[in-house]
Amino acid sequence: MSKRAVTEYPINDILANRWSPRSFDPGAVLTPADLGPAFEAARWAPSANNLQPWQFIVGYRGDETFTRIVEDLSGFNQSWAADAGALVVAVANTVTASGRANSYARYDLGQSVAHFTIQATANGLATHQMGGFDIEALTVALDVSEPWEIVSLIAVGSLGDPNRLPEERRDAETGPRERKPLSEVVR
C-alpha cells in the first residue's frame, strides 16, 4: 500500500513514502541483521559535542524483551503493536560524562530515531513511533536507570493487512496522509 505524501515542494522519495502504519504482518519475522542497517544509520546521526546520548533496547517478536514491552503498552497500542516484528525502546542519557545536564539529549535521540526510521523505510520496513506506554513500568521492566530515560518506542516490521485493525482505525490506515501546511510551520 502506498501512502505517498502530497508535498508543496519535491522531497526525497524515501521521505515522501514514509508513513506510520498500525497494520503489521504478524507472520513476518525480523532478525538483528534485518535491523542492522537502521541501527547503523542511527549510530551516525548528528550529535551535539558528539556525545551520542542514545541507546536502543530491542525486543523481537517472541522473545522476553518483546513481551515485556507489549505488556506496558497502552491498550490500543497493545492491540496492533504486538504484530510488529520488533519493538525498539529509544533511551536517552540526559547527563554528560562530567555530570552536567545534557539539554540536547532528547533532541539528539530524536535525530538518531529519524535516521533509523528513514533507513528502515529504505530497506522496505514499516515503522511507527509511539508514546502510548507506561513509562514507569517499562523503566522497571527493562532495568533502565538514571541518567538514562526512556523517551519513545518504535514498532518495526512488514506492512500487514489493515482489515485486521478495528473498523474505526481502518480509515486512518488507508486514507491519505495529512499535515499542516508549510505556512503554519514556517514563520
- Identify the pLDDT of residue 146: 95
Q: Are strands 148-157 and 126-130 parallel, antiparallel or unpaired?
A: antiparallel
- Identify the pLDDT of residue 168: 81
Q: For every one of its 187 residues, what pLDDT tens digit does the chain have, with 9 covering 90 and above?
A: 789 999 999 999 999 999 999 999 999 999 999 999 999 999 999 999 999 999 999 999 999 999 999 999 998 999 999 999 999 999 999 999 999 999 999 999 999 999 999 999 999 999 999 999 999 999 999 999 999 999 999 999 999 999 998 888 888 899 899 999 999 999 9
Predicted TM-score of the model (pTM):
0.96
- Identify the pLDDT of residue 102: 97
- Identify the pLDDT of residue 169: 85
The C-alpha angle 111, 35, 126, rounded to 5 degrees, equals: 75
Q: How many CB atoms lie within 10 A of CB 139?
A: 18
Euclidean distance between CA atoms 133 and 69, whole angstroms = 9
Three-state DSSP class for residue 100 = coil
Euclidean distance between CA atoms 176 and 94, whole angstroms = 37
- Identify the pLDDT of residue 45: 98
